[in-house]
Amino acid sequence: MKKGNTVFFKNKPRISSFAAICGSKEKEGVIGGYADVTLDDDMYGESTYEKAECKMLTNAVSLAIEKGGFKERDIDVMFSGDLLNQIISASFAARDYDFPFLGVYSACSTMSESIMLAAMLVNAGYIGRAVAATGSHFASAERQYRYPLELGCTRPPQSQWTVTGAGGCVITDAKEGIKITSATMGRVCDYGVTDVNNMGAAMAPAAADTFMQHFRDTGSSPEDYDMILTGDLGALGSRIVKDLTWEKGYDISENHVDCGEIIYKVIETEFQGGSGAGCSAVVLNSYVLSKMRAGLYKRILFAATGALLSTVSSGQGESIPCISHAVDLEY
Amino acid sequence: MTGKTGENYNNNYLNYVKTQDPPTRHFKNCAAAFGVGGLICCIGQFIRLMLEYAGLTGDELAGTTSVILIFLGCFLTGLGVYDRIGRYAGAGSIVPITGFANSVTSPAIEFKTEGWIYGMAAKMFTVAGAIIVFGVFSGVLVGLVYYFI
């Protein structure tokens, strides 16, 4: 059933299991105690950062499957994507498995888009179990979008730090687990921000738009949620999204939490917090879902946000179109 | 903040974002750049004096000093120290010749994984290329002005 841009899942697909891997810097923060694997070496024993990213993603997927008590042959399809050109990490991770792979690209909102797509297929009854996973790596993202790692340049105060980590979950038609009740498909929003260092300000309108669409379609209000979770708006973007929704009559300031804002322990060189596809994936699949399963949170609106730019578009002076997909989780 | 009319919706938003932006600390950055940049120059001057003491003169002296500084810049980049200095010092470590060495060495290290020829060698000047182009260009301009005066 669909109303507005929101799809309602009658059969309530479940998140049966989840797993997350995080890098050495992320380990220091709140998720360090909840991630399944924490790395001391961000190379993860590989020769390149791209291979390390791929290995993190593979291990996150394998762990999620294993933790749910599933075997590889039980999985019907995997949805995954990442930040690198031609989503190589996800595709290369998928070649290790026998099950089919559907690549998605939605920048940093890949996690919520994968969950949403997996839930749609499971709800419709086409498949029984699907994996949704994504990840990112600071060094590989930095190389693709910014400067070489060793280049001595300053970072502007609006900038964020790409999270090294990967997370995945298994979405099934089981009768227990965390319910996915509805999902709102995001629209691409562009308010004309051109500063590639200010992703928070670029993505906040997309998050606000999806939130309000979701509230309108489901008839819910911000108070109905224990937590409204955004992906990687950072400290600045979080302030803006609260203002934007407040302006339209929704007050999310009480229960809004941003993964990027909470992931690092000390804001030092990260300035506004974490970013990247791995940011929301790691926080959701470690801290948030385990707390949810423990009964701390009953209902969460998870909306990761993504900036759909490339180095070419920003080089040509284009503004940054952004997107956000929301998934309504209940336990 | 964004207003009700569609006409200047984006402008209103961008102005609002500007009010929320954390300010760049110009004074602190300038002070750090001045201190570190000055220190690098003092080290250069010290090397120069030592070489002069060792008996070098003229072009040899200037060339050898630059070569030693370039080596130090590359070496510290390889050790992963220079980017830390740069994060703190900004222009202070970019403007001296060591900064140029850093801008050549860092992509060389980064792209080595894509092979020696198409990776390291071809992409070595991705950052420094701009410096070379505009450096040569401004050199020509200044040269022309100098010629006619």
Q: For residue range B23-70, list pLDDT tens digits in order.
A: 888 899 999 999 999 999 999 999 999 999 998 888 999 999 999 999
A324 SS3 class:
strand
CB nearest A247 (choices: B2, B90, B107): B2
Q: What are A107's two structure tokens?
A: 């920048």
Q: Classify residue A157 by its DSSP letter.
A: T
Contact A158 B22 (CB under 8 A): yes
Complex confidence, ipTM? 0.87
- Per-residue pLDDT at A80: 96
Q: Which residues of chain A have a CB within 8 Å of the CB of B105?
A: 150
Helix (H) / strand (E) containing A180:
strand A178-184
**Amino acid code (one letter) for A118:** A
Tell me the torsion sign for CA atoms A209, A219, A302, A104. Answer: negative
Tell me which residue has tokens 């980017």: B83
Q: Which residues of chain A have a CB within 8 Å of the CB of B16?
A: 240, 243
- Per-residue pLDDT band for A79 (boundaries 50, 70, 90) equals very high
- Per-residue pLDDT at B5: 55
User: d(Cα A285, Cα A231) in Å, to the nearest integer?
Assistant: 12
Whether chain A has a CB inside 8 Å of the CB on B131: the answer is no
Task: State what percent of residues in chain A have pLDDT above 90.
Answer: 78
Q: What are B70's two structure tokens?
A: 């370039």
Contact A149 B14 (CB under 8 A): no
Strands in A51-164 per DSSP E: 77-82, 101-103, 129-136, 161-162
Q: Which residues of chain B have a CB within 8 Å of the CB of A147?
A: 106, 127
User: d(Cα B58, Cα B52) in Å, to the nearest integer?
Assistant: 9
Q: How far apart are the first and last CA of chain B?
A: 56
Whether chain B has a CB inside 8 Å of the CB on A48: the answer is yes
Contact A158 B80 (CB under 8 A): no
Cβ contact B107:B126 at 8 Å = yes
A195 SS3 class:
coil
- Per-residue pLDDT at A156: 85
Q: What mean pLDDT comes out for the span A228-244?
A: 92
Helix (H) / strand (E) containing A300:
strand A299-307
Whether chain A has a CB inside 8 Å of the CB on B12: the answer is no
CB nearest B17 (choices: A48, A150, A240): A240
Tell me which residue has tokens 């730090």: A161
Q: What are A212's two structure tokens?
A: 């309000």
Q: What mean pLDDT comes out for the span B121-145?
A: 93
Between strands A178-184 and A14-22, the pairing is antiparallel
Tens-place pLDDT, residues A60-78:
999 999 999 999 999 999 9
- Per-residue pLDDT at A271: 77
DSSP string, A56-86: HHHHHHHHHHHHTT--GGG--EEEEEESSGG
Tell me the torsion sign for CA atoms A106, A137, A291, A66. Answer: positive
More confident residue, A268 or A218: A218
Provide the CB-side half-sphere exposure for B74 (13 A, CA): 12
